[in-house]
Amino acid sequence: MDGCHDTGCDASEIEAEDTLALVGCPNVGKSVVFGELAEEYVDVSNYPGTTVDTTLAEFGDYKLTDTPGVYGISAFDEEERVTREIVLEADAVVNVVDATHLDRDLFLTLQLLDMGIPTVVALNMMDEAEAGGIDIDVEALEDALGVPVVPTVAVDGEGIDDLRERIPEATAPEETAVEEYYDELPEELEATRAEKTLLVEGDEPLAREVDVGGVMADGGSAALVEPGMREVVYGDRRSRVQSIADEVQSVTEIDGGIRETISDLMVNPLTGTPIALAMLGVIFYVIGGLVAQRIVGYTEGLFFGEYYNPAVNEFVGGLIPATGWAEPIEFLLLNDNLGLLTITVQYIVGVLLPLVMAFYLAIGLLEDSGILPRLAVLTDRGLNRIGLNGRAVVPMIVGVGCVTMAVITTRMVGSKRERLISTALLGLAIPCSAQIGVIMGLLAGLGLVWWFGYLGVLVAVLGVAGLALDRTLPGEGQALVTELPRLRVPRPGNILRKTYNRTKMFLREAAPLFAGTALVVSLLDYVGGLEAIMNGLRPLTSLIGMPADFGQILVLGLIRRDFAAAGMTNMALSHAQIFVGLIVITLFVPCILTMTMILKERDKKTAILMWLGSWVAAFTVGGLAAATLGVLGL
């Protein structure tokens, strides 16, 4: 393989004409197989018209596409619709199957073969199957399916070379059991085998698009077969799956031992809650304490603060005159708020890079060990009350370390609706670790009652906002559907590789966005725009009982949240004013980088609504708090 693997490229730079799609259920090791085949990630972007990520790379003569994990190809949700579109356009498919769940994963395999999609099966996790007492006759499975089957252990690279060699053999049986149902379709229908298979399964979007006797069925009838046909086809396919699984595998009961015991303890609310809290405490300490405070304190404060920024200021300042036409250029490059060559680089390399790496290491450990799906199951019931499911626990944890990073992790949260709720709650009422450190210092001087009052207000805002969003947003929350993989010892090589690839892709996306935003804010600062904003905020500050110069604190918060909290330490405020001020700066708009990421991950309208909503929430709750404290005489 050659091309752009080492330097990264856009999908448009991949010269291959044939498309090879990786398809499989969630948690089958599909992304690991992708990494082994492509050697390195190339381009990650949203599939057109969706918020679903797809990853593209060059693999030999193919354009390799990694699809979302799905249990079937249909149009039931966004991930399945994206996978269906990619499969229908693909020249061949590598179907990654979990060897420990043949009776589940072969449903998708048979659906691909029923559609006539040229397929090679990568029978992954063979080591776990063996450890679980599952013996699979690979040759018998290959005969039963009629396509190449390659046993693999992707995390160790086993079988990947064989898989590369057999991909050109991708095929599909000429006949399929589903063909008997094609008679239910209109005789004048013009459709491919793949389309006919989806149509007898009741694929409504496709039914609106196909050509029936020279006339496009554009919205006339949502289905071309009788109601209930899908259940008939699915039932027949499940019977075939079970028959093949019974034929090719034998299972020896093996005592799960301590792993099963730990797994049971982790999903039981009585025992799992303290275990989860302990793990979350460790994650918060590592990301929010060790990395965000100590490591970032070193990289940002010592390296950039004492060495890099002074050196750049001296070098660039010596090249550019400080007056005349060069003055605005010098300001944009070197200003103390968001200088393009100083503070911007400091944020990206000194702050974001350590946090991003630490986060992806933590997520990699949770994924590889099998803990993450158990954590989702444990927290699912509580999060259901605000329109989310258990997957949303990860962004909430990460948000306490870095809200910007947390916005990115909302990609793993089910539907678009749930991603909207998660993002809104993160931007509204989750303080980042840098801000928490200053807030705790200010509250320490007030006493424990004020600290619990502050936490109570944030929890109440989260609950009310979550309920309001759940009631007003169209649609319903998705139930948590997840498999619980075996608990296992994480593989360092796999975790490090995923961390490297994910960190690189994040920086490739985030760095240009932040640099562009920093440039715009610096321009506003230079022409006096930030000063105008500060003056415009003065009437609002009086509504919450704060002095006029509190507007400057809010402007600092626009740039970076902890700047606002730190600015309050230099103000002469009463206990009540400190309390109200901390509530307002926490609920106030997210920092520039977080807003930039919200704009990228969601859309312009959503980002603006969230931004305006945080203004309303901050001053409404702050005003109520100030009024309540006034009534109490505090």
Count CB-CB contacts under 10 A for residue 504.
14
Highest mean pLDDT among 5-14, 253-262, 322-331: 322-331
Best CA proximity match to 47, nearest among 10, 94, 79, 70: 79
Q: Which of 305, 577, 323, 581 is nearest to 438 (CA)?
A: 581
Q: Do the domain assignments include residue 379?
A: no
End position of a domain, from candidates 191, 224, 251: 251
Same domain flag for 34 and 97: yes
Tell me which residue has tokens 């018209």: 49
CA dist 269 and 255 (Å) reads: 24
Give the count of domains, the chain.
Answer: 2
pLDDT range class, residue 291, cuts 50, 70, 90 = confident
Residue 53's pLDDT band (cuts 50, 70, 90): low
Q: Which residues contact 574 (CB under 8 A, 6 or more apart)?
A: none
Average pLDDT of the chain? Answer: 80
Position 109 pLDDT exceeds 90: yes
The whole-number pLDDT of residue 211 equals 60
Give the Cα separation of 80 and 286 in Å (integer). Answer: 36
pLDDT > 70? residue 347? yes
Residue 432 within any structural domain of the chain:
no
pLDDT for the residue 301 = 81
What CATH number corresponds to the domain at position 56?
3.40.50.300
Are residues 56 and 146 both part of a single domain?
yes
Q: Is residue 45 part of a domain?
A: yes
203 Cβ contact list (under 8 Å, min separation 6): 74, 75, 84
Q: Looking at the structure, do residues 162 and 200 belong to the same domain, yes or no? A: no
Amino acid at the residue 191: A
pLDDT of residue 566: 67
Task: Tell whether 460 is covered by a domain.
Answer: no
Report pLDDT for 219. Answer: 45
Q: Is residue 625 part of a domain?
A: no
User: Distance (Å, rounded) from C-alpha 625 to C-alpha 620?
Assistant: 9
Q: What is the mean pLDDT of residues 531-547?
A: 80
Hey, which residues does 122 pair with through a beta bridge? Answer: 96, 150
Residue 18 and residue 140 share a domain: yes
Please indicate, yes or no, whether residues 186 and 117 belong to a single structural domain of this protein: no
| 226 in the same domain as 87 | no
Q: Is residue 430 helix, strand or coil? A: coil
Burial-class residue 379 by CB neighbours within 10 Å (0-12, 13-18, 19+): buried
Report whether pLDDT(572) > 50.
yes
First to last CA, the chain: 70
Q: b/e string for 291-305 if b means 16 or more Cβ within 10 A?
A: bbbebbeebbeeebe
> Domain range spanning residue 205?
177-251
Measure the CA–CA gap between 141 and 457, rounded to whole angstroms.
Answer: 59
Q: Are 577 and 545 in contact (CB under 8 A)?
A: yes
Q: Which of 130-139, 140-149, 180-189, 204-213 has the lowest mean pLDDT?
A: 204-213
Whether 556 is covered by a domain: the verdict is: no
Pick from 120, 144, 169: which residue ends a domain? 169
Same-domain check for residues 77 and 124: yes
Reduced DSSP (H G I as helix, E B as strand, rest coil) percent helix, strand, coil of the chain, to 5 = 65, 10, 25
Show the tokens assigned to 26. Answer: 């969630």
Residues 156 and 20 both lie in one domain = yes
Per-residue model confidence as pLDDT tens digits over 14-42: 344 688 999 998 878 888 888 888 865 55
**Of the candidates 191, 207, 189, 209, which has an alpha carbon nearest to the alpha carbon of residue 199?**
207
Nearest 5°: phi and psi at 16? -60, 140
Distances in Å between the Cα of 547 and the Cα atoms of 86, 555, 578, 631 are 58, 14, 11, 19
Give the confidence band of 2 by pLDDT, cuts at 50, 70, 90: very low
Q: How far is CA 544 from CA 550, 611, 625, in A?
A: 10, 19, 8
pLDDT of residue 49: 45
pLDDT tens-place string over residues 172-222: 998 888 888 888 888 777 788 988 888 888 887 777 777 665 444 444 444
- Per DSSP, the three-state class of 96 is strand
Alpha helices by DSSP H, 560-603: 561-568, 575-587, 592-601
* In contact, 394 and 365? CB cutoff 8 Å: no
Tell me whether residue 136 is in a domain.
yes
Structure tokens at 223: 């289905």
- Residue 349 in this model has a pLDDT that exceeds 80: yes
What are the phi and psi torsion angles at 22 (to 5°)?
-95, 120
- CA torsion sign for 399, 401, 404, 407 is negative
The yes-or-no verdict on residue 245 having pLDDT over 50 is yes
Please work out, in degrees rounded to the nearest 5, the angle formed at the alpha carbon of residue 419 by the alpha carbons of 81 and 112: 20
Q: Give yes or no: residues 223 and 143 share one domain.
A: no
Position 3 pLDDT exceeds 50 = no
The domain boundary, picked from 169, 197, 225, lies at: 169
pLDDT digits (tens, 9 = 90+) for 383-423: 777 777 777 777 777 776 677 767 877 776 767 788 888 88
Report the side by side order of strands in the sheet with 189-190: 189-190, 211-212, 215-216
Neighbour count for residue 415 (Cβ, 10 Å): 17
Q: Is residue 301 part of a domain?
A: no
The arithmetic mean of pLDDT across residues 45-64, rounded, is 67
**For residues 202 and 232, what is the distance between their CA atoms, to the nearest angstrom?**
11
Q: Choose from 73-77, 143-147, 513-517, 532-536 the range with maximum mean pLDDT.
A: 143-147
* Window from 90-104, 294-308, 455-469, 496-510 with minimum mean pLDDT: 496-510
User: Coil, strand or helix: which one is 45?
Assistant: strand
Residues 6+ apart with CB under 8 A from 535: 551
Cα separation, 313 vs 319, in Å, equals 10
What does the DSSP 8-state code read for residue 71? S
pLDDT-based confidence at residue 170 (cuts at 50, 70, 90): very high
Note whether 157 and 213 are same-domain residues: no
Asked if the model's pLDDT at residue 530 lies above 70, the reply is yes
How many whole angstroms separate alpha carbon 354 and alpha carbon 302?
A: 14
Looking at the fold, whether 114 and 240 belong to one and the same domain comes out as no
Among the residue ranges 2-11, 84-93, 138-147, the one predicted with the least confidence is: 2-11
DSSP 8-state secondary structure symbol assigned to residue 544: T
Q: Is the pLDDT of residue 485 over 90?
A: no
pLDDT band at 114 (very low <50, low <70, confident <90, very high): very high
Q: What are the E-state strand segments in 112-222?
A: 119-124, 134-136, 149-151, 189-190, 211-212, 215-216
Three-class SS of residue 573?
A: coil
Taking the CA of residue 610 as centre, how many other CA atoms within 13 Å lie in the half-sphere pointing to its CB?
Answer: 28
Quote the pTM value. Answer: 0.65
Based on the fold, state whether residues 142 and 53 are members of the same structural domain: yes
d(C-alpha 506, C-alpha 332), whole Å: 25
